[in-house]
Structure 1
Amino acid sequence: MNATIAVLKTIADANGGIVTTEEALQAGTNRVTLKRYADKGVLTRIARGQYTMTGFVPDEFTLLQSGSENLVYSYGSAMYFWGLSDRTPHIFEFSVPQGYNTSRIKERDPNIRFHYVKGSLHGIGKTTCRSPQGGNVILYDRERCICDLVRDRNAIDKQLFTHGLKIYFASKPNPRKLLKYGKQFGVDDKLRTYMEVLM
């Protein structure tokens, strides 16, 4: 295997099977080489600026998110990754900064729901983990998930809300972090009430 293909394969292995043009360029490959490999069938172009090694089935969760760090798995989707929900997502939920243009993504995949948040709150609790298919995904941590549940409790499915809270408080909660986030979202008093009942 030549050195460039080995580099591309390394990128793909780290990203659930996906090679983005940006990552390939950072690794020293140029656009002409990417096009040549796509023409030869070494790479398969799956979207603008995104490839897989031919024959490899990419991680669906990573694929949906690739190309933008502004797409953060949240609500039911993030809860699924953390084991706070036993529902396999059929609608994928992302939080994005207010004003972020999602029209092209909506056209590509109608099974995505967006939650628009203030730019100053978008990064709170942002972290990474492995998806069930093995790729790296960007999502909100457990405490941010709980804050979002409590903040939007009237719009959340009641069973998802109740199950998420019970599982969180039964599995090594981090009260200090939870209340810190809660203060930033203006739900710290409500969180204290749930903590008194469930901890």
Structure 2
Amino acid sequence: MDDIWLKIKELAADGGGFVSTKQVEQLGIHRTALKKYVDDNRLARIRKGLYTLCGELTDEYIVLQRRSTKAIFSYGTALFFWGLSDRTPHFIDMTVPQGTNVSALKKDYPQVRFHYAGKAVYDIGITETTSPQGGLIRLYDRERCLCDLIQNKKDMDMQLYTQAVKDYFSAGANCRRLLKYGKTFGIEEKIRTYMEVLS
């Protein structure tokens, strides 16, 4: 019986399917054991120091955020999670701070579209929800999503844009928060116009 493997499986079960080198070493297991299990196709390396069990159904949303702790689900992906879009996204939208190197992620996940946000706005509206597989993920709140849409209207799919804006205002808008965000994004007047028409 492989006691080390059983301990690693227990760690993964407690950690939502993931296990880190640090956790393994805290149990007194040498990190070379991890390489052995990767070579045996029992573990898959997600990034340096982070692994998941092979053959398990991994939560892609969690894996993406574990690969880049700064990446926040945004735009169409966040709208889908908030029920402001009924379209299952073909691409996964994530926002990272300006200057973040995501080249390795882009290579491994061509279905992810990265957006870059300046330091002044990156943190605005970060919240949490559960992924379809039950993992805890970080995404932008409804008001931040709306600000991103309005600010980048010319680059948006118009059907997605129109549905999200209409649905947001018909599902109980938090106008106070939206205006506060809008002020920071420099789109307060545009938001007031939408509020007059749709509220």
Contact 1:166 1:198 in 2 (8 A): yes
Q: What displacement does 1:88 show?
A: 0.8
Determine the structure 1 residue equivalent to 2:85: 85
Identity over the aligned pairs, expressed in percent? 42
Instruction: Compare relative contact order (CA 8 Å, sep 6+) and give the higher one, 1 or 2.
Output: 1
Alpha carbons of structure 1 residues 37 and 114: separation in structure 2 relative to 1, 3 Å: closer
Query: Aligned letter for 2:13?
Result: K
TM-score, normalised on structure 1?
Answer: 0.86
1:6 counterpart = 2:5: no
Determine the structure 2 residue equivalent to 1:184: 184
Determine the structure 1 residue equivalent to 2:36: 39
Q: What displacement does 1:31 show?
A: 7.0
Cα deviation per residue 1:11-51 (whole Å; 9 max; x = unaligned)? 1x2xxx333446x36x9346725x42563569512422332
Range 60-69 or range 122-131, more displaced: 60-69
- Alignment coverage as a number of residue pairs: 192
Q: Distance in 1 between matches of 2:157 and 2:177?
A: 25
Q: Distance in 2 between matches of 1:45 and 1:4?
A: 13
Aligned positions of 1:11-22 closer than 5 A:
11=15, 13=16, 17-21=17-21
Contact 1:43 1:51 in 2 (8 A): no
Aligned positions of 1:98-177 closer than 5 A:
98-177=98-177
Aligned positions of 1:44-83 closer than 5 A:
44-49=43-48, 50-83=50-83
Mind listing any 5+ residue stretches in structure 2 that lack a counterpart? none
Larger Rg, first or second structure (1 or 2): 2
Mind listing any 5+ residue stretches in structure 1 that lack a counterpart? none
Q: Distance in 2 between matches of 1:144 and 1:121?
A: 9
Alpha carbons of structure 1 residues 38 and 58: separation in structure 2 relative to 1, 3 Å: farther
TM-score, normalised on structure 2?
Answer: 0.86
Q: What displacement does 1:53 show?
A: 2.9
